[in-house]
Amino acid sequence: MAKHDALSAPVSDSSAHDHSKIPQPTIERLSTYLQCARGLQTDGIAMASSSEIAARTGINAAQLRKDLSYFGEFGTPGLGYDVDALSTHLTRIMGLDKTHDVLLVGAGNLGTALASYMGWVQRGFRIVAVFDTDPAKIGGSLANCKIASLDEIAKVNAQCKALMGVVAVPRESAQDVVDKLVASGVKSILNFAPTGILVRPGITVRNVDLTSQLEVLSYYLHTQ
């Protein structure tokens, strides 16, 4: 686990806050603010007002200030946010100041698409092992990894010690895959299988339900 070290003095220590009180939508927006701060850095902009950030993210300025207030003092009244400092703060808060090793389970179309997804490495995630159950896939290559049998997951992760896993398998095998990931030491899982997953306390599963994204669009289409 990345913990702040003594050299990180200019950055407020997020571990000093009560994280259980921070709403999940706030956490989700932090990622958007971080992307925005990085975009501002790329564009060579050193200071940005909350309304400039609002214009870029589509999240209103009051919400931005409220979200950031959970993590201490940011920005200077009348001047706005120092973009480099904001980027550094958010990177630390999100635990993105180190690269996360990730196990990928499923080397089908979705797994292959995820492995080739732009931006994982730049944003701090590295696939260190890939697993599948299909004998035709095992031994092949994906994301610069040799595809291993799912049965080898405990052995492989005894060496890799990855804490994150991505599940890109059919619905019917998702729970078994999650159980094996957890048994191998994984603590946080991104699940693309369209099914509910049960895990013990202390393990985080985030379900990405792609159809629900379409349902949200349907709502806006319906009410326009």
The footprint of a second copy (CB under 8 A) covers 1-2, 14-15, 19, 25, 27-28, 30-32, 34-35, 93-96, 100, 102, 108-110, 112-114, 116-120, 123-125, 163-164, 166, 168, 170-171, 187-190, 194, 202, 204, 206, 208-224
State the alpha helices, DSSP H only, in the chain. 24-42, 50-57, 61-69, 83-93, 109-115, 153-160, 171-183, 210-223
Shortest Å, Cβ 78 to a second copy: 28
Shortest Å, Cβ 7 to a second copy: 18
Q: Any idea what DSSP says for residue 10?
A: T
Q: Which of 153/189 has CB closer to a second copy?
A: 189
Q: Which of 30/156 has CB closer to a second copy?
A: 30
Burial class (CB in 10 A: 0-12, 13-18, 19+), 22: middle
Q: Helix and strand tally (H, E) in the chain?
A: 8, 9
Q: Which of 14/50 has CB closer to a second copy?
A: 14
In this structure, is the dihedral angle defined by the CA atoms of residues 143, 146, 147 and 149, taken in order, positive or negative? negative
Q: Which of 78/198 has CB closer to a second copy?
A: 198
